[in-house]
Amino acid sequence: MIVAVDARALAGAPRGVARYTRELVGALAAAFPDDEYRLVVPGRRAVDALAATVRPRPPGRVVHGVAAVARRPRLARLAGRDARVAWLPAPAPVAVGDIPYVVTVHDLSWEERPADFTAYERAWHALARPRALARGAAAVVADAEPTRAALLERWRLDPARVRVVSPGVPAPAAPRGANRFGRYVLYVGALEPRKAPELLLGAFARARARGLDADLVVAGTGRRARALAGRPGVHLLGAVSDAELEGLYTHALAVVLPSWLEGYGLPPLEALARGTPAIVADLPVYDGTLGGAALRFAPGDAAALADALVRVEGERERLLAAAPPLPSWAEAAEALRGILAAAAG
C-alpha cells in the first residue's frame, strides 16, 4: 500500500504535530515494511526522512496556500499518482485529490478558545476548513474519547467514521549527561495562551514563597516565552532535542501541564514512563490517560496549582503506583494502518 502523507509539520517548529507525525510514520514503516509512506514536505528545509520523501520545489506557504484556494497542486500528485490513500496528521490547507484520505484531529482548540490564536492562525484555520475536511474524509482519527465526542457533537460526523487511536509513549532511554538544574519541576510544550504559561508562572512564585525548594525548567517555544524570561528560578530552554528531553523528564520532581484544554497531553505520559509524576489541570482527557497517577487542580486555579507544586514530592510514590498501562507507538501504528487500509478499499 502506498500512502501519501501531508508531512509539512516536519519542516516547521518541533512541536506536538511534528513529533506525532515523526513517531507514527516511523512506527508504521517499521511494522509494515511492504508499505510505502511518501512524505510530502513543503520547501527545501532538510528533515529526518523516515520514508520516501517528496518535496515540492516552491516555498511551502506558496504551494499549500495555492492548493487550498485553487485546489492545485493536489497532495496525491505531489506524492505520486500511484498512491492509494492519503493521511493528514492534522487539519491543514490542502487539496488532497481524488483518492480517499484519513485526517487526524487532535483537538478543537481553535473553535473552543479562538481568542487564544493570532489573526494569522485564525485565518489559517479558516483556510484549512477542518470541518469540511473531516466531512469529506473516509475516516477521522481522534487521540482520545473526549475529542471524538466533541467531533460528533459539534461537527455532526458519522460515528462509524470517527475512531480513537491513542498516541504512543516512547520507551525510556538512558539519559545522557548529568542533571544540570538540581531540583526542579518541568514544563514541556508550546508557550501559547491555551497552555496557560502565565498561570504556571504565578503558581510557581506562590509555591516558592511557601517553601518549594525547586526551580522551574521550561522546554518549549511560543509567543508567551517573554513572560517567563528572566524570572527568578525559571530556566527557559526553548526547543530541546529528544536526548535532552529524556534527561529532563528523568530528573524532574514532576511535570506540570496547566493547560486550559488538551486533546491528549503527551508530556505527562512520557514523564510517567520515566518514573516522574505529573501535575495537570483537571480535564476530561486525563480520566482515560492518567487516572489517579497525577495531582489535578481546577483549570485556572493558581492557588490550587501552587498547593500541588508544594506537595507533589511527598506524593510521588502514591502517584507512580497508580500509573496505568501506557500505549506504544507500535500499537498506534497497528490501529492507524488498519484505518488507512480500510479507507484504501
pLDDT band per the 50, 70, 90 thresholds, residue 56: low
Q: Whats the size of the chain, residue-wise?
A: 345
Closest CA to 86 of 36, 126, 16: 36
The pLDDT value recorded for residue 8 is 84
User: Which segments of the chain belong to CATH 3.40.50.2000?
Assistant: 2-168+329-344, 184-321
DSSP-assigned letters across all residues of 165-225: -PPP-PPP-PPPS--SS-SEEEEES--SGGG-HHHHHHHHHHHHHTT---EEEEE--STTH
Average pLDDT over residues 160-170: 95
The pLDDT of residue 127: 85
Q: For the segment 224-252, what is each residue's pLDDT rounded down to a tens digit? A: 888 888 899 999 999 898 889 999 999 99
Average pLDDT over residues 275-297: 94
**Residue 54 confidence (pLDDT) above 80:** no
Cβ atoms of 263 and 194 within 8 Å: the answer is no
The cell numbers describing 51, all together, are 520514508
Is the link from the previous residue into 277 a cis peptide, with omega within 30 of 0?
A: no
Q: Does residue 48 carry a pLDDT above 60? A: no
What does the pLDDT average to over 106-132?
91
Q: Is the pLDDT of residue 92 over 70?
A: yes
Architecture per CATH, domain 184-321, reads as 3-Layer(aba) Sandwich (3.40)
Alpha helices for the chain (secondary structure H): 16-31, 60-70, 75-79, 109-112, 119-128, 130-136, 145-155, 197-209, 225-228, 242-251, 266-272, 285-289, 302-311, 316-321, 329-344
> Closest Cα to residue 92, out of 18, 25, 156, 153?
18
Average model confidence (pLDDT) across the chain: 89
Assign domain 2-168+329-344 to its CATH architecture. Answer: 3-Layer(aba) Sandwich (3.40)
More reliable by pLDDT, 115 or 55: 115
Q: How confident is the model at residue 255 (pLDDT cuts 50, 70, 90)?
A: very high
Nearest by Cα to 258 from 332, 188, 180: 188
End-to-end CA distance of the chain: 11
- Pairing of the two strands 139-142 and 162-164: parallel
For the chain, what percent of residues have pLDDT higher than 70? Answer: 90
Residue 177's Cβ-count burial label (10 Å; 0-12, 13-18, 19+) is exposed
∠ at Cα 106 (79, 1), nearest 5°?
A: 30
d(CA 123, CA 30): 37
